[in-house]
Amino acid sequence: MSHPAASLSARCAAIGSWRLHPGHAMSLSPKKTAVLRIFCGQVWVTLGGPYEGALNEQGDRFLGPGDVLAVPAGARLVMEPVATPGDTGPVHFDWSDAAASAAPSRFAREVVSPTRELGAALGQAGVATARVLRGLLGYSEFLTAGRGRVLGPYEAGHW
């Protein structure tokens, strides 16, 4: 049985496109509005102006797994992992354009996505059909057993 922390770090290592190790800090300044998503670990984020929104949405924040922060264009974001004792694993996060992470359009949801699913299903049906045909063709030697092929004792029914 594996240790829960070991399986968590193995799972976290597979996700997120960026990593930030304990004891290091990172500064990011987007030219366009961007989105910070935390997948694994916790970070302390300081967001420098230009500020948007209420006063309590400015400055320092703590973000954990599943948290998302929109960073306005021209702002300066500094983040540092919040390491707990014995935690040596990196924080996994994604940093992307806000436009790229926007919700898909109605056409994409109702036409494009089902079309892709249908294509995948038809592909799987084609593979299954080919496997059935290959199996039937492989079985054909048993159907032609009386035409010059000598049957073994188990095939002939004499035990």
Q: How far is CA 55 from the centre of its chain?
A: 35
**pLDDT average, residue stretch 20-38:** 89
High-pLDDT (> 70) share of the chain, %: 67
Residue 23 has pLDDT above 50, yes or no: yes
- What are the beta bridge partners of residue 69? 36
Residue 81 has pLDDT above 70, yes or no: yes
pLDDT digits (tens, 9 = 90+) for 5-21: 444 555 465 455 688 88
Mean pLDDT over the full length of the chain: 77
High-pLDDT (> 90) share of the chain, %: 12
Check residue 11 and give its pLDDT: 47
pLDDT digits (tens, 9 = 90+) for 108-134: 778 888 888 888 899 999 999 999 998
**pLDDT average, residue stretch 83-104:** 74
**pLDDT average, residue stretch 89-107:** 75
Residue 37: DSSP 8-state: E
Check residue 12 and give its pLDDT: 60
Where are the strands (E) in 6-158, listed by range? Answer: 18-20, 26-28, 34-40, 43-48, 59-63, 68-71, 76-81, 91-97
